[in-house]
Structure 1
Amino acid sequence: MNEQNCDLLDQVLIAHGGLERWNRFNIVHASIVTGGSLWGMKGLTQDSAPREMTVWLHEQRASVMPFGAPDKRTAYTPGRITIETTSGQVVAERSSPRESFLDHGETTPWDPLHRAYFNGYALWSYLTMPFLFTLPGVKVEEVAPWEEGDQSWRRLRVHFPESVATHCPVQDFFFGEDFLLRRHDYRVDVSGGIPAAQYVHDYIEAEGLRMPGKRRAYRRDEKDRAIEGQLLVSIDISDLRYA
């Protein structure tokens, strides 16, 4: 089954604002605050200062600032990651950045370019969900629903082509009765394949488009349950601005 014949996907796109509205815009700016244990596992520190995230909606491109210093930012595409000054001078760069994660385990240290690449692809995908499911080569199928407490969530399994940089090739997305995203399961391939269950809530709306304002990714156990004591990444998103 693909996106052309998946009724659930159609309802999900409508609930998040609709594909027609999405296609009116090219870029989104947002304020993000990040935390969680992953950064320490990678030998990094993460403060709670808000940062400006910019994501291009119809191409895999993103930037966050400040990054490492007030006058530094990142410039992400799947084939190249750079750290540059706000005036555009390149400070550090890496081509084919995904290759630099080969043989990484859960606690393999990351350098600033590793971190910049992870931020770029992850936030690009989060701020384009669920509309990225309609990209060329992406295949979508509805699979068995998931029982979460007293709720039953419908579930889409999404198969990403190699051309889309993301956590892993196959990921599951869970939707409530209102067709809004509730949970996102994946493996963090750039960090030893850590199994994660990311819960999303506190939706915010801008220009008629709806995105979760809070994301909490926990390690997932062998029964696909979130381990509440192991928060890997937290992301608070606010001040969405589409252009």
Structure 2
Amino acid sequence: MDRLLTSVLDAHGGLQNWAKVTKLTADMTLGGPFWGARGWQGIFDRQTVIADPHREHITFSPFTAERYTSVLDVAPERVALTTSDGRTIQERLNPRESFPTAFDPFTTPWDAIQVAYFASAAVWNYLTAPFVFVQSGVIATEIDPWTEDGQIWRRLAVSFPTSIANHNADQTFYYDQSYLLRRMDYSPDVTGKPPVAHYAFDHKTFDGFVFPTRRRVFLHDADGIADKGFAPITIDLAYVKVERR
């Protein structure tokens, strides 16, 4: 295992401890103008998010209505909208294939299944990182460090297999001297592959594991410099409950 990755895993609660985790429950809000441009302003205000830490299964509720929940499963990929009594009212297999090939960040609308897929795949990976980096098929390797605001951040280049639904296959993660996540770069396939610089702040410990509680998503230029004047997406985490066996 990469030495940097080993230190990062230890700093976030330890791989052996993570192996005992059975469930994550988070209170979070996904904001920013991105969702309104898709036709769903405020859709992710005060969500209860429940995730399986070891396989890509995640729910958001209430989703579009008080009684509804979105469910993402992978292998095969499937998004469903369910009612509080467990009935499926809508579902789509291979939801990633349904996104429009042309994407305009200000005018392209998405339907409810597409919005659920994008947010669910993203948040599952956010909540399970860095531990997802040791799953089968994931490759994590240290690359050259990065200097920003007078700080030197070490970086992991991470390649994800198609078995993990994510923004895109190849991403970069930046860690400070305490081995905590400060930034991650990716280019979402379904939004035209824009160069994203996603920053993480205000790390807190919940039930022995460390999570950023504030995230801001910006774009960066060809030199990797982020435009921090505009955040299309914001993510705020109120708490995480970690259940273990």
Q: TM-score surpassing 0.5? A: yes
Q: What residue identity is the alignment partner of 1:188?
A: P
Paired with 1:218 and 1:229, the residues of 2 have a C-alpha distance of 8
The Cα of 1:224 is off from its aligned counterpart by 1.4
Paired with 2:38 and 2:219, the residues of 1 have a C-alpha distance of 15
Question: Contact 1:26–1:56 at 8 Å: present in 2 too?
Answer: yes
- Aligned-residue RMSD, C-alpha: 1.2
Paired with 2:101 and 2:110, the residues of 1 have a C-alpha distance of 13
Q: Partner of 2:231: helix, strand, or coil?
A: strand
Which stretches of structure 1, 4 residues or longer, exceed 4 Å deviation after superposition?
A: none
Calculate the TM-score normalised by the size of structure 1: 0.95
Calculate the TM-score normalised by the size of structure 2: 0.94
Q: Partner of 1:59: helix, strand, or coil?
A: coil
Deviation per CA, 1:189-239, whole angstroms, max 9, x where unpaired? 111112111110111212211111111111122221111122121011122
230-239 vs 60-69, which moves further: 230-239
The Cα of 1:102 is off from its aligned counterpart by 5.1
The Cα of 1:92 is off from its aligned counterpart by 1.0
Where does residue 33 of structure 2 map in the other structure? 37
Question: Contact 2:53–2:128 at 8 Å: present in 1 too?
Answer: yes
Where does residue 114 of structure 1 map in the other structure? 114
Q: What residue identity is the alignment partner of 2:5?
A: L
Q: Pick from 89, 93, 96 the counterpart of residue 91 of structure 2.
A: 93
Q: Does 1:46 align with 2:50?
A: no
Question: Contact 2:141–2:158 at 8 Å: present in 1 too?
Answer: yes
Q: Partner of 2:36: helix, strand, or coil?
A: helix
Where does residue 213 of structure 1 map in the other structure? 213
Which blocks of at least 5 consecutive residues in structure 1 are unaligned? none
The Cα of 1:47 is off from its aligned counterpart by 5.6
Where does residue 78 of structure 2 map in the other structure? 80
Aligned length: 239
Calculate percent identity across the aligned residue pairs: 36
Question: Contact 1:204–1:212 at 8 Å: present in 2 too?
Answer: yes
Where does residue 71 of structure 1 map in the other structure? 67
Q: Does 1:232 align with 2:239?
A: no
Which blocks of at least 5 consecutive residues in structure 2 are unaligned? none
Q: What residue identity is the alignment partner of 1:189?
A: D
